[in-house]
Amino acid sequence: MPSWNDEETSSEEECEAVSMDMGLMEEPDTTVEPLFCGQLELAHPKCILHQLRPIKRVAFEGPVTGRRFYGCPVQENGVNCGVAEWVDGPWPTVLQRCLCKLWEMFHEQNFGRVQDKEKFEPELARLKSEHERELAKLRTENDKLCIEYTKLVDDVSKMFDWQDGRVDKKQVEEEELEKKKKELEEKAMLEVQMEKLKLAKEQRCILQSQADIIKNTRKAIKDVEVDRDVLKKKKAKLELVVAELLNEGYGNKEKLEQIKAILES
């Protein structure tokens, strides 16, 4: 179970680090906003390195998501010198933390999808390989049947070449051979379709298993977050009790100081 203290500290440090980077004029990722786009018409401000009129942009990264700014217009074949000036001031601290948390959840879900994909790729590759082998086997059998059929037709033709006056019988034999050929072709096609249906069913089972794993993983993450919040509340209550006992001057002040030090660590 993750430590609530570690997670809370990392979230705050990340927000502070990103805010400091933005103060150093590094340009964040942006999103398209039709109401705030195009090149700035005013002469000032200009970008630091190129002294060009900046472009209107809207940030789409970390705790600065949604903030408007004027950025360097150089995008390709040159060095982008970053933010020329922020239009919107920094968001409130609570909103910045919420944005950080949302981006963390987004990256965690993407990482989970990548892991699931990597986990099931070998199985899908194996099924694909088996499917290709079965198709190759069926093609080989079909070619063999075609060769046998051709040989049979030649033999029948040779057998009836020397027989005169038996045109009707020869026609009947040819019809029977054609019928057998159609039956063999239909049988081969039916076997191929059955194999395709079998492989499709196996793939659906794998996709269903993958969906169940993802669902259970998300549920487990949600349960862990609930447990973490409960432990945070209990920790806060315990800290209040220790503080009250220390203020009242109880005799076991040294033990209470040790408990407080453990809680703070």
Averaged pLDDT for residues 134-146? 86
Could you give the percent of the chain with pLDDT greater than 70? 81
Give 172-206 pLDDT, tens digit per residue.
788 888 888 889 888 888 888 888 888 888 888 88
Q: What is the pLDDT of residue 161?
A: 66
Q: Which residue has the tokens 């862990």?
A: 224
202 — alpha (psi -120 to 50), left (phi > 0) or beta? alpha
CB 185 within 8 A of CB 102: no
CB 95 within 8 A of CB 76: no
Does residue 45 have a cis peptide bond before it, meaning omega lies within 30 degrees of 0? Answer: yes
Helix (H, G, I), strand (E, B) or coil at 30: strand
Q: How confident is the model at residue 119 (pLDDT cuts 50, 70, 90)?
A: confident
Averaged pLDDT for residues 79-97? 89
| Per-residue tokens: 252 | 């076991």
| Per-residue tokens: 68 | 């408007």
Task: Calculate the average pLDDT of the chain.
Answer: 78
Sign of the dihedral defined by the CA atoms of residues 130, 132, 137, 138, in that order: positive
| Per-residue tokens: 157 | 């033709």
Give the CA distances from residue 2 to residues 10, 230, 233, 256, in Å, rounded to whole numbers and listed in that order: 12, 13, 15, 26
CB 56 within 8 A of CB 38: yes
Could you state, in order of their start, the residue ranges of all structural domains in the chain?
30-91
Q: What is the pLDDT of residue 94?
A: 93
pTM of the model: 0.37
Element (H, E) at 129: helix 93-161
Give 154-166 pLDDT, tens digit per residue.
877 777 666 655 5
